[in-house]
Structure 1
């Protein structure tokens, strides 16, 4: 059966039930997860319900159905938080196990609910008010709950069944400019730090950040809907302008006593990570504004006399930039496993409070994540067996030869608890599957069915998956550039096919993996296109030397490498080298513009979605990481903008942007509109009212992809069409 655009965005989802939010219960006896109503043919396919899988019986059952709760309009703050977290589903989108395994806490429709296991699965409402509660955390002793309400931190004792419990504010009242316990915009958007407070191991204290946004520049941002528009006086830290002032504090939960801790003498440093090592010790990562330096600050806290001693135990320096790591686990003996790129690749290290560190993993390959530590073995994900597949490994905590536990032929992401691992895996021709394994990698239970099963939503469309090939090209500096090519079944030297280059190209992301792709890729091959992707220098998980060539000049090295990929495509006898298009979103939209304007005539056409057009309009932490400050690198900022090159645009261009985008502001595209209009250059465009950076919604996406489909058909399918 042939894929249609309507089917791409209809229920049930083509990748299958695709459970998310997978968590083992604290005792490891059950696996809980979130899945849309289509899991059992009930409710709304956009609403997530809470499910469980019993490891002893192998049975799945629903714990909480989202449809039993009335829906409620998201607050402005909640909409912004969902955008930061890239949440598109509704219903139950997050949940938390109590450490004592007796209950689960979850928010829905702005209120908190407690599900006690074994009482008939009837959730108890803990809050019922007009204010959203967010950032929920159980205390480690399971006796209390903390959350953010009205932009400040509250705690609530866990109530007895059927009884109410009152929340109390333990930090000062927030204002429009001051918040307590909330991560600042830059932390969420660019540092991947989504927490603004942290319970101590004994539940006695909470470390938190205070954010003062007064220094941040106020600018008006428009959100244009279909029949109205809103103007927001938003504090947005443009590159080179002041960030919010962020301070670290610790509060005694019982008494409310506050202890402020000065972790840096420089006011514009970032508080990047906060970890409790013990009940009286914190480890804080402090990053300088230009991100050349990462300082590990040990904080010894004496609660009796409200005093904190700070000690720098380690420091890293890099002439380009330091990527922050999310890999960290404190060990019972005071040591800790942490991630660092100090060797040139992201690896795991074993550190102590004296500042000593020894490598746990080593090699010219990248650790992509720490899974956990058990019985002196470190479980981690890595690209140790090649650049295309992420695998699970384990190694002694003191280092040694890693042992691969996952099966080749797919990409894996995992989590574990107790004696079991949950493995989420996929390949280009295999939609995501979930299975439970023991600690040796042996399959114990299968959670989702294989695509070969007749009941799988993609089963009838398997014929749309064309042949896939992986390879590498050599960049100008000798480094290998991984690529992936999907071909249609119909291509041959006698009838070569057009190709669409799908580009991202930006730092912090890798695209060339043996993993399930969005079904749109397979739709394109079913329409007779080849689809090509290449990870240029600057993209993630290939090591520091691979990333750093983009430093202080974006859009140059990346463009060179993508054009090398085009040269390669033109050597293939079953690819029509005169019918090549390009498509990208976000940084990929920026890359599309740079490719069309810096190498006119190379592509028949291009589609640019939500592009950055001028890096002076983007935020501090991301932009300055790669370009430095505008005052110190004015030439680099100008050369990295699209505007110096737009006069050369000669190929058909389709520009798409959401009119409520608060990440890459719609201003990027409206400025490009004006620039192209003033230069008399024609282009196609579509702007979507109310759409954020991700541009979600079934009807909107059908329209968007149909427009792209017709655009590519018009310019690529007819061999006689000239650009």
Structure 2
């Protein structure tokens, strides 16, 4: 389960506005910000590419000036081959799940100008250049292929692919959702072999979802979905050699082999690395495959008493085939340096902070480029650290949320930064963090918001009953009167490793929260136990009891707010989406004496109904830990509901199934509880499309105004 970030869409042009932030303004696009799309360094390190309406444009780092288009035309994305003599261009796409999509691609030879329609112009998935740039591998109809770019010949590697049965080189639903990517194959560095994962989902129980729109009889969307404790795909790893046109199964019987989340190429020509784990997910093997012989060597095993974050892997091989690895083993996420045989050389980063992203390694300076929380858990900064002496240099602003896209030679980077009070800014910097030029700001967006009396967040901490200081923010009306008692509307997500209290621009719900504040509410958010960036002890205390400590902390926070002189303790509401909807459901049942009003959007209401990889990572299986599942399920506490409750769900939600809200509704009904329920026909977990979002947010606003 991943956090849902809510986007802003256009529905109409609004000609005249009052001096406040309104829903009409939000959804007209009046406040829409500007960005830079598809930033990627070119190999020379002196130029970068971006996606523009007229084509893939080329810019100079040194002058920041455009030097023309690499390719003319309107494309959704692009990928260069290693020497940048060819480019893969996405010209049309159809979404499938969160990451996967069907795409139509062109391959253009930038020297000759020749354009090839990949797979004869038919839809494919996950196309990838071979490192030598002579071929492109891709998936079609669950089978793996490659196409020779000179002869245009297409070679079919697998033949047993079948929908809802066998998948080759591509993740199934739960792998894609919880391990965070769709591609499950990799070329060797010398382009003579491909290692891929085959998923046999024949025995995985099938989920079916009715689709109603404009049909006399509803159709069905059917897909394999392993719920907690149920059968998962049987996965296996395979080696295909191009010279022999033969595929062999790799023998993983001596290693952890229930899941194979990741496939990587190394710095050597004939090697691939697999990361595998058992179902429990508290240990992962890092395995090196010799692609000439098929022999497998275990480099090491990453272990944790609770779980290993197999959805957040950092792994890069250096020129000598030593490698950088990310681990939480010392209580915070840090980087470690291993030799090519899996022997630990040293811990690279250390401290009471976390590495939150990894950008690369500069072999000239022996430095890793990373994003961290070293300036406080609500901030993310960019720095470089020498892997030999540990010297660290801050490259970005010291506050806010800062990320980087580095040039190929690490002499430059484009910094994307924001704070809770300043929207996104794009700045070109040199390798030492000195500003070269501001490329894009959103001052115009900010001026519009300030003219409409935007309020900003105040950050602070709140104690919980365990003695932790929980990060929090609060938004107060412009004319805030400390002697007046205000209704409080709390927002949270609360899922494992997530963060909702961040010193960053809120491009999701932030404008809506401003609208509510202007209606006389105080809005606040608290990151309780289970959330991220404050160390593994804080994050993993919820193990085997998902929901227990999270709701205790939201209740504690609400009680703390209720004791403040400016909060009406009898008018506290709570809102959340997905995991946050689960928490809002618990708040109106377990916390019914504290919360007067709640809105739960697309909530899990029984963890037995959610997917295996995510749920079992934190709870183990229902067969092993029935108590952990049932004692924190809102359906078990339906009889406690007291306040005004609005339940919202999309009927075509492939992630958190509509079944969750149906079961919770039935439990409330059988306990004679009154509540409001809104179903969005044929809408998925994001609940958007057409006028859906404006209608949804108007409905939630009306509910708050009427009931809080």
Name the TM-score, length of structure 2 as normaliser. Answer: 0.89
The answer as to whether partners of 1:251 and 1:258 remain within 8 angstroms in 2 is yes
Q: Which residue of 1 aligns with 2:104?
A: 111
CA drift at 1:115 = 4.5
CA drift at 1:24 = 1.5
1:72-104 per-position Cα deviation (integer Å, ceiling 9, x unaligned)? xxxxxxxxxxxxxxxxxxxx4432122212342
CA drift at 1:329 = 1.0
CA drift at 1:116 = 5.1
Q: Which residue of 2 aligns with 1:26?
A: 43
Within the candidate set 298, 310, 323, 1:312 is matched to: 298
Query: Quick one: distance in 2 between partners of 1:542 and 1:408?
Result: 18
The answer as to whether partners of 2:138 and 2:146 remain within 8 angstroms in 1 is yes
Query: Quick one: distance in 2 between partners of 1:118 and 1:562?
Result: 60
Change in CA separation of 1:230 and 1:156 when aligned onto 2, cut-off 3 Å: same
Query: Quick one: distance in 1 between partners of 2:57 and 2:488?
Result: 42
Q: Counterpart of 1:490 in 2: which secondary structure? A: coil
Q: Counterpart of 2:423 in 1: which secondary structure? A: strand
| Residues 664-679 of structure 1 mapped to structure 2, 5 A cutoff | 664-679=656-671
| Residues 696-711 of structure 1 mapped to structure 2, 5 A cutoff | 696-711=688-703
Q: Counterpart of 1:431 in 2: which secondary structure? A: coil
Q: Which residue of 2 aligns with 1:603?
A: 595
Which stretch has the larger CA shift, 270-279 or 615-624?
Answer: 270-279
Query: Quick one: distance in 1 between partners of 2:669 and 2:594?
Result: 23
Query: Quick one: distance in 2 between partners of 1:568 and 1:137?
Result: 53
Within the candidate set 462, 475, 484, 1:495 is matched to: 484
| Residues 141-290 of structure 1 mapped to structure 2, 5 A cutoff | 141-159=132-150, 165-176=152-163, 177-225=165-213, 227=215, 229-265=218-254, 269-277=258-266, 278-290=268-280
Q: Which residue of 2 aligns with 1:416?
A: 406
1:159-192 per-position Cα deviation (integer Å, ceiling 9, x unaligned)? 5xxxx83432223341231121112222211112
CA drift at 1:656 = 0.8
Query: Quick one: distance in 2 between partners of 1:259 and 1:555?
Result: 44
The answer as to whether partners of 1:224 and 1:659 remain within 8 angstroms in 2 is no
Within the candidate set 319, 322, 326, 2:313 is matched to: 326
| Residues 625-636 of structure 1 mapped to structure 2, 5 A cutoff | 625-636=617-628
Q: Which residue of 1 aligns with 2:98?
A: none
Flag structure 2 segments of 5+ consecutive residues without an equivalent.
1-18, 93-102
Query: Quick one: distance in 2 between partners of 1:373 and 1:681?
Result: 58
Q: Which residue of 2 aligns with 1:387?
A: 377
Query: Quick one: distance in 2 between partners of 1:208 and 1:533?
Result: 43
Q: Which residue of 2 aligns with 1:292?
A: 282
Query: Is the counterpart of residue 405 in structure 1 residue 388 in structure 2?
Result: no
Query: Quick one: distance in 1 between partners of 2:145 and 2:454?
Result: 51
Q: Which residue of 2 aligns with 1:565?
A: 557
Change in CA separation of 1:335 and 1:31 when aligned onto 2, cut-off 3 Å: same
Q: Which residue of 2 aligns with 1:74?
A: none
CA drift at 1:349 = 0.4
Query: Is the counterpart of residue 134 in structure 1 residue 131 in structure 2?
Result: no
Q: Which residue of 1 aligns with 2:96?
A: none
Within the candidate set 84, 89, 108, 1:101 is matched to: 84
Query: Quick one: distance in 2 between partners of 1:349 and 1:495?
Result: 53
Change in CA separation of 1:634 and 1:268 when aligned onto 2, cut-off 3 Å: farther
CA drift at 1:370 = 1.0
Query: Quick one: distance in 2 between partners of 1:64 and 1:564?
Result: 56
Query: Quick one: distance in 1 between partners of 2:384 and 2:48?
Result: 22
Q: Which residue of 1 aligns with 2:13?
A: none
Query: Quick one: distance in 2 between partners of 1:299 and 1:118?
Result: 35
1:507-551 per-position Cα deviation (integer Å, ceiling 9, x unaligned)? 131111100112223333333322211111111222211112211
RMSD: 2.4
Flag structure 1 segments of 5+ consecutive residues without an equivalent.
41-48, 69-91, 717-723
Length, aligned pairs only: 666
Q: Counterpart of 1:187 in 2: which secondary structure? A: helix
Name the TM-score, length of structure 1 as normaliser. Answer: 0.87
Change in CA separation of 1:466 and 1:123 when aligned onto 2, cut-off 3 Å: farther
The answer as to whether partners of 2:21 and 2:454 remain within 8 angstroms in 1 is no
